Amino acid sequence: MMDVAKSATGVTSTLALVVLAHGIAAAIFALVFLLDAAGLSLPLVSLQAQHPDFLPSQYATAASLWIAVAIGTFASYEIFLLPYLAKEYHAKLKKLFVAYHVAWCIVTPYIALMPGSSWSAWITVAVIYGFTLAGYLAPSE
């Protein structure tokens, strides 16, 4: 794969574009968890849509808020910092990006396979595996 020409955003490589795109997708997931914590459910992507047996509670609200903040933090790094690192850091960025997705690649199918899960729970699985593969296959030079 060839590097993508430098764009107006300063993103200069395929890996940087993958990280930036992932950050944008992660920001959307953070918003979904924030809305779940507020008791709002989005079709296909919210917890209640993907897991109809999900029962809202104070603990679920707190967990959703915690997850929204955690994912939002990573998303902000991936949107505003990581894609713009100097090329000498791209090999390390690639290892980090792929490594932290391995855990998500284990957790998301487990959750999608839980009894009562909707087919839409596999959207998250497809997104996580897609970004993990894209990060792995993107050249880091």
What gap in Å lies between CA 108 and CA 114, rounded to an integer? 10
Work out whether the CA dihedral 31, 37, 38, 40 comes out positive or negative: positive
Angle at 78 between CA 10 and CA 111, to 5 degrees: 145
Contact 139, 13 (CB under 8 A): yes
pTM of the full predicted structure? Answer: 0.85
> How would you write the pLDDT of the chain (141 residues) with one tens digit per residue?
444 445 445 567 899 999 999 999 999 999 999 999 998 988 888 888 898 888 888 998 999 999 999 999 999 999 999 999 998 999 999 999 999 999 999 999 999 999 999 999 999 999 999 999 999 999 976
What gap in Å lies between CA 63 and CA 35, rounded to an integer? 12
What gap in Å lies between CA 85 and CA 91, rounded to an integer? 11
